[in-house]
Amino acid sequence: MNDYYATLGVDRDATEADIKKAYRKLARELHPDVAGPESADKFKDVAAAYEVLGNADKRAQYDRGVDPRAGHAGAQGGPQGFGFEDIFEQFFGGGGSPFGGAAQRGPASRTQRGGDTLVQTTVTLEEAVFGVKREVQVDLADRCETCKGSCCAPGTSPETCRQCNGQGMIQRTARSLLGPVMTQSPCPTCGGYGSIIKQPCADCSGQGRTHSRHTVSVDIPAGVETGTRIRLAGAGDAGTGGGPKGDLYVEIREKQHPTFERRGDDLHCTLEVPMTAAALGAAMSVDTFDGDQPVEIRPGTHAGTTIKLKGLGVGRLQRAGRGDLFVHLDVHTPTELDAEQEQLMRQLAALRGEEMPSSNLAPIGGGVFSRLRGAFKPR
């Protein structure tokens, strides 16, 4: 484990003020701007030592034999990403590099990519099943046709900023404990661009873009649902200063259908079957998105029976094919009978011996109890 006390040249019972004083003295002597680039490693060691001993919690851990910087490569960053450059900024101010003066940066560019735009559109369930081509209305920023995105009035161009000489940054010399330190900040005159637009375009107010309403054609694939977003690359807002366009996202909202319920890629509906058709069997049809489809009602069909019509569901968004259509049968029992119908029903009950229906209870869930008995039956 590194001996941070020895690195700073202080005793283990040194006060916080002693540690800070020792660090400032060594940092002043070892700073590469003062002692040369060869002292950079020693300066980092001193900064790492102060990072630990200058913090009461970290110093307590270190005194218990735990190095808070263990597992962090070099002196560039200790726990929570706090390293020697952070310490340097804490004592001597930011805006510059501790090694070799101010960091050099060029002027900022007025050309920026346009933002992404989100618009919503509503589709019916049938359109979600098969897909649809839709036109949506959206307000977008366009490149100014007057200045062609240059932001300048026609026939003019930006002029070099005299205060920063086109650099976009202003360098200043700040006094610190280590002596003069170079700092830099964006030029207040040109805003960091290095140039000034003295005659901005009147049509776009010097932004290089205008706004208008657009009609955008969107191919909505089968399988979309509420929340699905379709990305149209390069169809969003134009950027400032003639920058490229952003993207346009079309978010789907799906209407509920009065007959069909969607569950993923499958569709569900209910078919009402007359009691006589359920008892005797019948051939019926279901009006689907693919037209009328035959449904066979077998004799003795019970309420709740489900018939699957394969491939008549929703088109799949990520793969080929379609889901299925599930038809749930609901056996309709008549509630109003005329005298003749009632007489016929009574005759049928008599023939079936059902004038006095049995009150025997049937197992719940189609024989759950019998299955449980079978599970515990000795083998």
The response to whether 269 counts as a known ligand-binding position is no
Instruction: Residue count of the chain, please give it.
Output: 379
Note the helical H segments in 217-305.
Answer: 275-280
Strands 325-332 and 266-274: parallel
Amino acid, single-letter form, for residue 192 = G
What does R_g of the chain's alpha carbons equal in angstroms? Answer: 40
Tell me the two tokens of residue 178.
Answer: 């280590």
**Residue 48 to residues 14, 56, 194, 330, 334: CA-CA distances in angstroms?**
17, 14, 38, 78, 88
Q: How many CA atoms lie within 13 A of 234 on its CB side?
A: 2
Rounded to 10 degrees, the C-alpha dihedral 289/293/297/302 comes to -10
Could you tell me which residues come within 8 angstroms of residue 148 by beta carbon, excluding any fewer than 6 positions away? 242
CB 359 within 8 A of CB 352: no
**Which burial class, exposed, middle or buried, applies to 312 when counting CB atoms under 10 A from its CB (0-12, 13-18, 19+)?**
buried
Amino acid, single-letter form, for residue 74 = G
Distance CA 189, CA 316 (A): 57
Identify the CA nearest to 232 among candidates 209, 254, 210, 251. Answer: 251
The response to whether 164 counts as a known ligand-binding position is yes
Burial of 237-260, coded b for 16+ CB within 10 Å and e otherwise, reads bbbbbbbebbbbbbebebeebeeb
Distance CA 271, CA 336 (A): 21
Phi, psi of 351 (to 5 degrees): -60, -35
Measured CA angle at 359 (ends 357, 362), to 5 deg: 115
**Residue carrying structure tokens 């079309």:** 250
The response to whether 187 counts as a known ligand-binding position is yes
Which positions make up the binding site? Answer: 144, 147, 161, 164, 187, 190, 201, 204
Residue numbers belonging to the annotated binding site for Zn(2+): 144, 147, 161, 164, 187, 190, 201, 204
